[in-house]
Amino acid sequence: MQKEPRSTSFQTLSRWLSAILRPSASSQAVSDASRKIFIINLFCLVMVLFTASFAVYGLIQSKWEVIYDLLPFTALYVFIYFWLRRTQNHVLCGNLVLYPLYVVMLYLVYSGGVHGTGLVWIYCIPPMTLFLHGVKRGGIEVALFTIGLVVILFVMKTPFDELGYHPDLKSRIVYSFLLIACLSLIYEYVSSRFNHSLRHQLSVKLEEVAMTDHLTGLLSRHGLEQRLQAEEWWMPNVWLVNVDCLKGINEEFGHTLGDEYLKALVDSMHAFFEGRSVLISRWGGEEFLIVLNDTGDQSELANELREMMAKASVQVSSRQRRTISTSVSIGITIMRAGEPISTTLGRAYKALYQAKEAGRNRVDSL
């Protein structure tokens, strides 16, 4: 009973942090842009807390130079935070975060910072730079920062030299910074490759979903049109197959059994066209569109399919011996050279209507 308030408090804190750090209240999608906006928001808030805290410390200690140095950066990160939430421009805000940060870090290396501790802050540069600017651009910027670091430590005469540290400290700082940079580079490279692979797999999956009918596994309308363009067949034959009385089957036995019967019809079509150059799609609820690259007698071939599909059936239940089956009507035509598929379909529908009006369970052509 006592855990519930804690859970509620945690959920409240989680919602509060989410509202502060997310790009917008309605943004739930995970993308590169939303991740960068999230990290920039988080970094800005952390930097505001740190710089403001040190400014307060400087005020207590009457170190006015510390206050003058830190308050402009506090104001900058506050501005970046609210500007990012308003514009969602993570590219500009990322630059506003990083480039002043480079200058501050190099200055801390040069001056040594407070009590010679300024160097400890430079290790945030590689992960932030590589995350916001990517492997290529970020790697170049980290390399340039490293060159600046080496120049300041080993070439320039700086206040850091007067702090009395061991001479090996400079080389240790450079080596440790390079180690962090390499690890960050490896992580970002692997992460980017993984994300690219994941996006590619998702794109392929979405394309597959758009190209196929989820019930039968046949091509969808969009899928058939795309495949037909890719095949470039010369004047293929087009068959429009309509299942007779499927509506009555669904009303009497239910859509689940009706769907099973459609799958049985699909199996019979696959068996019939095995080894042939053919595209089969589910064109509507009880309609199938078949595009066949074949020069034989189409009426004879379509009648053979009609007879084969009439034999397809499904059992009503395991307790009953009754099975479901019906006939199909087929309208056939040919796709003329340069003709859009909509015109070909118009003739195929007319042929199908003729077959229906003539009593169903037959083949007509135009």
Q: State the DSSP string of 156-183.
A: S--GGGGG---THHHHHHHHHHHHHHHH
Task: Quote the Cα angle for 142-147-150, to 5°.
Answer: 125
Q: How far is CA 348 from CA 307, 331, 342, in A?
A: 20, 5, 10
Nearest to 215 by CA among 259, 280, 251, 267: 259
Residue 235 Rama label (left phi>0; alpha psi -120 to 50; beta): left
Q: What pLDDT sits at residue 208? A: 65
Q: Is pLDDT above 70 for 276?
A: yes
CB-CB contact of 312 with 333 (8 Å):
no
Nearest to 283 by CA among 344, 326, 358: 344
What dotted CATH number matches 221-365?
Answer: 3.30.70.270
Among residues 178, 38, 29, the alpha carbon closest in space to that of 46 is found at 38
Is the CB of residue 361 less than 8 Å from the CB of residue 327?
A: yes
Mean pLDDT across the stretch 340-349?
Answer: 85
Domain assignments of the chain as residue spans, ordered by start:
12-208, 221-365
Q: Which residue has the higher pLDDT, 15 or 267?
A: 267
155-196 pLDDT per residue, tens: 988 887 787 788 888 899 999 999 999 999 999 889 888 877
